[in-house]
Amino acid sequence: MRLSRYFLPVLKETPSEAQIVSHRYMLRAGMIKQASAGIYSWLPLGYKVLKNIENIVHEEQQRAGHIPMLMPTLQSADLWRESGRYDDYGEEMLRITDRHGRDMLYGPTNEELITDIFRSHVSSYKDLPLTLYHIQWKFRDEIRPRFGVMRGREFLMKDGYNFDLTKEDALHAYNRHLVSYLRSYERMGLQAIPMRADGGPIGGDYTHEFLVLAETGESEVFYDSQITDLTFGDRAIDFDSVEQCQAVLEEFTSRYARTDETHDEAIFAEVPEERRRTARGIEVGQIFYFGTKYSDAMGALVQNAEGDKVPVHMGSHGIGVSRLLGAIIEANHDDKGIIWPEGVTPFHCGIVNLKQGDDEADAACEAIYASLTALGLEALYDDTKERAGGKFASMDLIGLPWRITVGPRGLKNGVVELTSRRSGESVELPPEQAIERIAQIYGRASA
Amino acid sequence: MRLSRYFLPVLKETPSEAQIVSHRYMLRAGMIKQASAGIYSWLPLGYKVLKNIENIVHEEQQRAGHIPMLMPTLQSADLWRESGRYDDYGEEMLRITDRHGRDMLYGPTNEELITDIFRSHVSSYKDLPLTLYHIQWKFRDEIRPRFGVMRGREFLMKDGYNFDLTKEDALHAYNRHLVSYLRSYERMGLQAIPMRADGGPIGGDYTHEFLVLAETGESEVFYDSQITDLTFGDRAIDFDSVEQCQAVLEEFTSRYARTDETHDEAIFAEVPEERRRTARGIEVGQIFYFGTKYSDAMGALVQNAEGDKVPVHMGSHGIGVSRLLGAIIEANHDDKGIIWPEGVTPFHCGIVNLKQGDDEADAACEAIYASLTALGLEALYDDTKERAGGKFASMDLIGLPWRITVGPRGLKNGVVELTSRRSGESVELPPEQAIERIAQIYGRASA
């Protein structure tokens, strides 16, 4: 993309309403614009990152064998009356009346709707196991929306639901979700720690929240420092293997890691003192096995091998897609701006032309741009007439991980400059080598 | 995808509520399920087609130089009061009050919101031309929603907005949209004819609707039969070229083609009688230049080269993404079910195993499945124990354009059967040749 043809409304001043760094940088980098309280338009740069995160979530869910679909944003109140949640949910549920006076609501979650789909179409254990998921906009009418997309009212979430014959099968689905979530967050450049969560009124041990450590996190967290040494990496895993998935669960959840909601000082005291950590965290996902709560209430029964009708065991599993942008920035920035992890960056590379209008510099930039495009890499080429300082400041602010700087002086020596946004280090290289380096970083075969 | 692991709830009986063929087949093929009146859940098969259509729209919009972003579903009433449409819109607008008593609405369209974004960030002619678009769910509270996704209440639409300094520039944007729409529909296997539309209260000659001919269309259309001979094909076009885009507009709109709203018997009578046609059509898109209507009302001004502040010239351009599924089925089906065009089919190919459990047949199916997957082609492999007749009926119903049938008898002679859903013709071929044929059809290099 040529910047002269893009829509990237970068702000010089810090908007006064933004209290945390991710919100400030998302506004300044022209990623979002508030449409009304807690509701945002995603400007082109923000939309690209949102899509990248969505794609990672889709790929990892499908790798785990989960099936994509899409439920609508608006739901009928009737299903929520069946489950008993219509009255329980309180003021965060946005209630709507249509022109015929029917009670509707903007879905904050989808247990009722998915259970209704399931009971309409599935009646035999032979059709199990089944996990369906979608990525859809949801609404929670927060009394005080704040922190930009971190605590918005209209937000994008992946929510998935497993349907299984037995508790044992449902716990395998739980473990599959844990593995797929670990993979997803790592691909986004995040370390998200599964922490024992509060099962709420249902209770039970089978719920974990995934937290990203960040000073601005809303939750206080307590953990054994050994847990931050764990990475899933690119190990092969068979999602059908109960043993393999269970082993990952044990590896990632056997050490102490809890939020203030479930923190237990007595157990925490058993962790060797030098490994005890207190910090703040941002919740970016949750997995939850809740048994037959909804299948009982809504009559989602299947016939088992003996011919008996039994309620299915279910769980729901969420990833906060839009909030992840905030979490990633909270964990990846400096005082100049955002530092995107390669996995989610809106453009793979920036190109800065130090002397737009100089024939040689323009031609060199065009050639680099064309080479990167041919490799399937997206570059943002700053082809404007802005002075060099302004171009660098904008590139640093929007946080592309790699930048190629092209100027007449370097070209005389046959080199351009390749700069890492994260380390700030620059190397001078012939253009072909800079392109090859970028191709290697992103796993693209160079020409 | 193996059918045994998929969620494809095919119905044997025709649902009584469905009046038109696309609605019947979408329900029977397990593509959608009604959530409430005019609101649908997209089951996995339907979701895949929806995504394919969305992807084509994205690719063609970006090819034309239009920039993707995303606006929220809910909007504040304030902007609509500024434009004067809050009171004008009537009961089809779903009005919502949040917990603080603020007036909101579920966006039926986005002229106000995009104009607000524009005026907040753009103040110079140097940042023009600019066309922004998004694909987002919208809501129109239809009094009698019907025909499934063809006239639903919650529907997915692409809407794009151009901002230009002059009427001339804006008409080039109009023409770019016309070209990109022709390309999009053709890739979906549709012939959509641009017909002169009614400019409504604004008037003006610069609006066309795109109509797909189908018996169940809601509009009566009148046209010169020469128009159905036109195809855009894969001709190269430079979207920056005013002349090239204008030439396409002239080629595709100079012959008589109007809906009943703009039909003029006197002009129609000038078409030679043997070329005059009357038919029914489904509207699948509209382009519209409306000048400075919103920029005047909302103060979206830019400074021109002379330093004067002038309102920008705008247009809005829509494609009915979710309704396109209905339109495609109305135009592509027979009495056995859907016949997907290759461009939007949910799976590239079906594989039917005539004797699941037979070692040789199972192995042959697995090998074909693996080969297609390696070529980047998605196959739906019916690996269930259902009898052959049932498998064929389901495959015909869901309408995959190509089917490979594998059975012990054929394998003894070293062949499988490759069947075209559209023509019904079958040929016997060695498995490798069947795979190669499929790879050619979809433009994939065979191994």
* CATH number, position B70: 3.30.930.10
Q: pLDDT over 70 for what percent of chain B?
A: 98
What was the pLDDT predicted at A199? 76
Residue A260 neighbours by CB distance under 10 Å: 13
**Same domain membership, residue A123 and residue A72:** yes
**Same domain membership, residue B118 and residue B239:** yes
CA distance B266 to chain A (A): 41
pLDDT band at B201 (very low <50, low <70, confident <90, very high): low
Q: Residue A290: phi, psi to the nearest 5? A: -120, 15
Choosing from A283, A308, A337, the residue where a domain stops is A337
Closest residue in A to B153 (Cα) is A74
Mean local confidence (pLDDT), A43-69? 98
CA distance B189 to chain A (A): 24
Q: pLDDT over 90 for what percent of chain A?
A: 94
Terminal CA-CA length for chain A: 21
CA B7 to chain centre: 24
**Same domain membership, residue A322 and residue A210:** yes
Task: Say if CB B363 and CB B87 are below 8 A apart.
Answer: no
What was the pLDDT predicted at A376? 96
Residue A202 pLDDT exceeds 90? no
Residue A325 neighbours by CB distance under 10 Å: 27
**Domain assignment of residue B394, yes or no:** yes
Look up the CATH number of the domain holding residue A396. 3.40.50.800
Q: CA–CA separation, A265 vs A281, rounded Å?
A: 18
Closest residue in A to B92 (Cα) is A99
Contacts B40 to A, Cβ<8 Å: 72
**Same domain membership, residue A32 and residue A75:** yes
pLDDT band at A158 (very low <50, low <70, confident <90, very high): very high
Nearest Cα neighbor of B312 from B284, B290, B333, B336 is: B290
Which residue in this structure is represented by tokens 């449902």? Answer: A170
E strands present in B80-186: 94-97, 103-106, 130-139, 154-164
Residues in chain A: 447
Q: pLDDT over 90 for what percent of chain B?
A: 94
Residue B119 neighbours by CB distance under 10 Å: 18
Q: What angle do CA B173, B178, B182 make, to 5 degrees?
A: 145
Of the partner residues A35, A91, A102, the one whose CB lies closest to the CB of residue B113: A35
**Same domain membership, residue B304 and residue B372:** no
Mean local confidence (pLDDT), A296-305? 96
What was the pLDDT predicted at B204? 63
Task: State the virtual CA torsion across A420, A425, A429, A435 in degrees, nearest 10.
Answer: -10
Residue B427 neighbours by CB distance under 10 Å: 13
**B30 or A146, greater pLDDT:** B30
Choosing from A337, A367, A394, the residue where a domain stops is A337
Residue A63 neighbours by CB distance under 10 Å: 15
CA distance A10 to chain B (A): 9
**Same domain membership, residue B284 and residue B432:** no
Mean local confidence (pLDDT), A416-422? 98
What was the pLDDT predicted at A200? 72
Contact criterion met (CB < 8 Å) for A43 and B99:
no
Question: In the beta sheet, which residues pair with residue B315?
Answer: B162, B289
Q: CA–CA separation, B95 vs B106, rounded Å?
A: 7
**Same domain membership, residue B53 and residue B193:** yes
DSSP state of A124: B
Q: CA–CA separation, A33 vs B375, rounded Å?
A: 42
**Same domain membership, residue B233 and residue B382:** no
Contacts A117 to B, Cβ<8 Å: 33, 41, 43
Nearest Cα neighbor of A179 from A194, A161, A158 is: A194
Contacts B46 to A, Cβ<8 Å: 69
Handedness of CA B264, B267, B269, B272 (dihedral sign): negative
What residues make up the domain containing B262? Answer: 3-337
Nearest Cα neighbor of B203 from B291, B283, B265, B316 is: B291
Task: Say if CB A150 and CB A321 are below 8 A apart.
Answer: no
Domain count of chain A?
Answer: 2
Q: CA–CA separation, A140 vs A152, rounded Å?
A: 8
**Same domain membership, residue B412 and residue B294:** no
Nearest Cα neighbor of A286 from A166, A158, A190 is: A158
**Same domain membership, residue B360 and residue B278:** no
Which residue in this structure is represented by tokens 């195993």? Answer: B353
Of the partner residues B41, B98, B121, the one whose CB lies closest to the CB of residue A71: B41
**Domain assignment of residue A342, yes or no:** no
What was the pLDDT predicted at B287? 97
What was the pLDDT predicted at A16? 84
Residue B90 neighbours by CB distance under 10 Å: 9
Contacts A68 to B, Cβ<8 Å: 44, 47-48
pLDDT band at A443 (very low <50, low <70, confident <90, very high): very high
Q: CA–CA separation, A173 vs A291, rounded Å?
A: 12
B104-158 confidence digits (pLDDT tens): 999 999 999 999 999 999 999 999 999 999 999 999 999 999 899 999 999 999 9
Task: Say if CB B173 and CB B181 are below 8 A apart.
Answer: no
pLDDT band at B203 (very low <50, low <70, confident <90, very high): low
Assigned token pair, A287? 């997995």
H or E stretch including B141?
none
**Same domain membership, residue A332 and residue A351:** no
CA distance B425 to chain A (A): 32
Is the previous residue joined to B72 through a cis bond, with omega within 30 degrees of 0?
A: no
Q: pLDDT over 70 for what percent of chain A?
A: 98
> Residues near B383 by Cβ (< 8 Å), separated by ≥ 6?
B2, B3, B4, B353, B356, B362, B365
Residue A189 pLDDT exceeds 60? yes
Cβ burial of A305 (10 Å; 0-12, 13-18, 19+) is exposed
Mutate to test the interface with B, among A70, A97, A135, A378 (most CBs of B within 10 A): A70
Mean local confidence (pLDDT), B351-369? 97
Contact criterion met (CB < 8 Å) for B70 and A120:
no
Nearest Cα neighbor of B379 from B131, B48, B117 is: B48
Mutate to test the interface with A, among B36, B66, B136 (most CBs of A within 10 A): B36
H or E stretch including A160?
strand A154-164
Task: Say if CB A400 and CB A345 are below 8 A apart.
Answer: yes
Mean local confidence (pLDDT), A102-115? 97
Contacts B141 to A, Cβ<8 Å: 98-99
Choosing from A311, A337, A363, the residue where a domain stops is A337
Mean local confidence (pLDDT), A91-117? 97
Report chain B's mean pLDDT, rounded to a whole number. Answer: 96
Closest residue in A to B98 (Cα) is A94
Mean local confidence (pLDDT), A171-190? 98
Nearest Cα neighbor of A214 from A310, A308, A114, A282 is: A282
Residue B205 pLDDT exceeds 80? no
**Domain assignment of residue B75, yes or no:** yes
Q: CA–CA separation, A67 vs B5, rounded Å?
A: 9
B279-309 confidence digits (pLDDT tens): 999 999 999 999 999 999 999 999 999 999 9
Q: CA–CA separation, B292 vs B315, rounded Å?
A: 9
Nearest Cα neighbor of A131 from A100, A163, A154 is: A163
pLDDT band at A201 (very low <50, low <70, confident <90, very high): low
Task: State the virtual CA torsion across A135, A139, A140, A146 in degrees, nearest 10.
Answer: 90
Tell me how far CA of residue A254 lies from CA of A104, A209, A220, A246, A248, in angstroms. 43, 14, 19, 11, 10
B8-28 confidence digits (pLDDT tens): 999 988 888 888 999 999 999
Query: Do the strands A67-68 and A301-303 form a parallel or antiparallel pair, or are they unpaired?
Result: unpaired
Cβ burial of B51 (10 Å; 0-12, 13-18, 19+) is middle
Q: Which amino acid appears at position A267 of this protein?
A: I
Cβ-based contacts under 8 A for chains A and B? 147
**Same domain membership, residue A296 and residue A372:** no
Residue A445 pLDDT exceeds 90? no
Query: Do the strands A130-139 and A154-164 form a parallel or antiparallel pair, or are they unpaired?
Result: antiparallel
Contacts A132 to B, Cβ<8 Å: 7, 44
- Helix/strand/coil for A342: coil
pLDDT band at B421 (very low <50, low <70, confident <90, very high): very high
Residue B324 neighbours by CB distance under 10 Å: 31
Residue A447 pLDDT exceeds 60? no
What was the pLDDT predicted at A446? 59
**Domain assignment of residue B102, yes or no:** yes
Contacts A70 to B, Cβ<8 Å: 41-42, 47, 50
What was the pLDDT predicted at B16? 84
What was the pLDDT predicted at A23? 97
Q: CA–CA separation, B7 vs B18, rounded Å?
A: 22
**Domain assignment of residue B446, yes or no:** no
What was the pLDDT predicted at A216? 87
Residue A253 pLDDT exceeds 60? yes
DSSP-assigned letters across all residues of B31-77: SEEEEETTEEEE-HHHHHHHHHHHHHHHHHHHHTT-EE-B--SEEEH
Is the previous residue joined to A408 through a cis bond, with omega within 30 degrees of 0?
A: no
What was the pLDDT predicted at B446? 60
Which residue in this structure is represented by tokens 């997995």? Answer: A287
DSSP state of A92: G
Q: Residue A256: phi, psi to the nearest 5? A: -65, 125
Task: Say if CB B150 and CB B22 are below 8 A apart.
Answer: yes
Q: CA–CA separation, B168 vs B123, rounded Å?
A: 19
CA B138 to chain centre: 15
